Structures are given as structure tokens and as C-alpha cells.
Amino acid sequence: MTALVARITAEPPRRRAAFSGAGLAGLVLAALAALPVAAEAAGLPFLVVTATRMMIFGLAALSLDLVLGYGAMVSFGHAAFIGLGAYAVGILDAHGIRDLAVQAPVAAGMCALFALVTGAISLRTRGVYFIMITLAFGQMAYFFMVSLAAYGGDDGLPLSGRSTLFGMRLIEGDPALFYLVLAVLAVALLVLRRVVASRFGRVLRGSRDNAVRMQAIGFSPLPYRLTAYVIAGAVAGLAGVLLANQAEFVSPAYMSWQRSGELIVMVVLGGMGTLVGPVVGAAALIALEEVLAHYSDHWRLGLGVMLVAVVLLSRGGLAGLAAKIGRRA
């Protein structure tokens, strides 16, 4: 009996994570801060653009991991939030509202609301059904934007320019946008670190590991899962705001189901249930795409083969693979 109580009240076993040191994250952030200067000096300005893209998708993957890694909810419609965030910028821009101080809260609020409504319905289901219903809601959002002819429909919607910040044109240049994205990502990492370490985060992880036990000790998992889903939606919406600003263009393609699949790949590649892992996974996947695309038009074939190989050979993503190789060596 005491053994049982001890097992119920103990912290869930920590997952093996290769990228979890806060100090390491700080070092990486510092190195990143120097990147635009170094890229300029080396004559490789496209590195700044690529790195910005990596961080934007890192932010989106990070938000997905709150649902997927910490909540064990395989959401297959996460790209919808990126798209909705991006469209919030595009639609406000079309009506002359260009300030980030308005766009970002509107985008996050819209995504949170969408997540609240769809999450409340999706969380009635389990397992395969949850995967499929989130996929369906993602497709709903996708088709809504495709048929919204007033805002470009299938063709997408060009922005009049990048957003202003408190009326100032602060993120016109690529290095400026890079620093903005870096700052947002750093803040998101810090905030989510507090969230997952809090009582809320512990209940969420407890429900992931054993929902029946959590219920037995008096926690209903549903409100915690729904809250995590809403937070994740809002953060992914912010990633959409940044993505729209980088491309200066908004398109329904941002929310296609393949995009949601890629986000899952990023999280799993980097290591689920860690915070830095998904960011590393996003960077790795985008780097892989860039490198493969450089060699062949058929780079997706190489990506697919690697994906199948990673799943068949390892459990736990790149982190798990690294640990496995480490044990053998």
C-alpha cells in the first residue's frame, strides 16, 4: 500500500533528454545573437533569413510539444494556428492596421479562441479519433481560407509591408526581424519552462503518464489538457504572425495538413517532452530541407527515406538516436 502511494505521489520518471540544459540554451542564444553580424561579415546574408525561419518554426514546434510531448495529445492540425495567426496579420493589414502591438494580441486571441472551441470538441475523443478530429479542424480552417475570396482565397494575400512596432518601422530589415524572432522565442522558452515546471505542468504530465491515477487522486485531466491546447494554439498563432512578416505574404498553404505533419516530425526529431528539443528539431528539419533541395529537385524523397529510417531504427527521435549511438560506442 505504501509503495502504491509512493508511486502515485512521486514525480514521473524524467525522460532522457540530450538538449535540456538551461545553461546550454543560454550559450546558444548568445551565439545566435551574434549571427547577423557574422553572416554579414562572411557575405552570407541568406543565413539570417534561414535562421529566422528555423526559429519561427521552432516556436511553432515548441508550442506543439506542450500538447504532444507534455500532454500526449497527438494533434494533427497544428498548422491551422500558424495560418490563423498569419491571416490575422494579413487581414488587419488589408484594413490598414499595421502595428504589431495590435496584430499580435489579436492573432494570439483568435487562435486561443479557435483552440478553445475545437479543443473542447476534440478532447471528447481519444487516440486515433483525436488525431483525426484535429486533422479535420485543421482542414476546416484551410478550406475556409481557400474559399475566402475577399482576402485572396487560393492565391494568398500579399502584405503592404512588414508590421510596424508602436508606429515605428523597426523590423524592415532582415537582421531586425531576426532579433525580434529571437526575442520572442527566448521569452516563449522561459515562459513555457515555468509553465511545465508549475503545478499545472505537473498535473499535465501526470495525466500523460497515467490519466486514471490522476483522476483517482482528484484531478480531472480535461481542464488541464484544454488549457494546454489553448496556450499552444496562441503561441503557434504568434509564430504565424512572425511567418507572415518574414514572407510579407499570407497563404492557405501555411495551414495544409502536410505542414502539421512536418511540425510533428520536428517535435519528434528533436525529442518530445523537452523544450529545447522541438526548436532543435525544427532547425534540423529546415537545414535538411535546404541542403537536400540544393542537391536535387526530388529532395522530398531523401527526406522521406530518412524519416522512415529514423522511426524504424530508433525510438525517441534524434535525442534517442544520439543516446543509442552513445551507448554503443
Q: Which residues bind other proteins (CB under 8 A)?
A: 68, 74, 76, 121, 124-129, 131-133, 135-137, 139-140, 143-144, 146-150, 257-258, 261, 264-265, 268, 298, 300-301, 303-308, 310-312, 315
Q: Would you say 132 or 186 has its CB closer to other proteins?
A: 132
Contact 133, 103 (CB under 8 A): no
Q: Would you say 150 or 329 has its CB closer to other proteins?
A: 150
CA 19 to chain centre: 17
Q: Would you say 169 or 315 has its CB closer to other proteins?
A: 315
User: What minimum distance in Å lies between the beta carbon of 162 and other proteins?
Assistant: 29
Q: Would you say 68 or 319 has its CB closer to other proteins?
A: 68
Q: Would you say 36 or 152 has its CB closer to other proteins?
A: 152
Cβ atoms within 10 Å, residue 22: 12
Residue 250, beta-bridge partner list? 157
Q: How far apart are CA 178 and CA 219, in angstroms?
A: 42
Q: Would you say 136 or 284 has its CB closer to other proteins?
A: 136
Kindly write down the DSSP assignment for every residue of 133-189, as one continuous string: HHHHHHHHHHHHHHT-GGGTGGG-EE-SSSPBBTTB--S-SHHHHHHHHHHHHHHHH
Place of cell 540544393: 294
Q: How far apart are CA 251 and CA 10, in angstroms?
A: 47
Cβ atoms within 10 Å, residue 314: 16
User: What minimum distance in Å lies between the beta carbon of 320 and other proteins?
Assistant: 11
Q: Would you say 33 or 293 has its CB closer to other proteins?
A: 293
Q: How far apart are CA 161 and CA 265, in angstroms?
A: 32
Contacts of 304 (CB under 8 A, 6+ apart): none
Q: How far apart are CA 136 and CA 131, in angstroms?
A: 9
Q: How far apart are CA 23 and CA 242, in angstroms?
A: 26
User: What minimum distance in Å lies between the beta carbon of 181 and other proteins?
Assistant: 27
Report the candidate in 237, 234, 238, 233 with the shortest Cα–Cα distance to residue 184.
238
Q: Would you say 110 or 268 has its CB closer to other proteins?
A: 268
User: What minimum distance in Å lies between the beta carbon of 133 and other proteins?
Assistant: 6
Q: Would you say 50 or 139 has its CB closer to other proteins?
A: 139
Report the candidate in 255, 249, 205 with the shortest Cα–Cα distance to residue 71.
205
User: What minimum distance in Å lies between the beta carbon of 17 and other proteins?
Assistant: 17
Place of cell 531523401: 302
User: What minimum distance in Å lies between the beta carbon of 51 and other proteins?
Assistant: 24
Q: What is residue 198's three-state secondary structure?
A: coil
User: What minimum distance in Å lies between the beta carbon of 177 and other proteins?
Assistant: 30
User: What minimum distance in Å lies between the beta carbon of 141 and other proteins?
Assistant: 9
User: What minimum distance in Å lies between the beta carbon of 131 and other proteins?
Assistant: 7
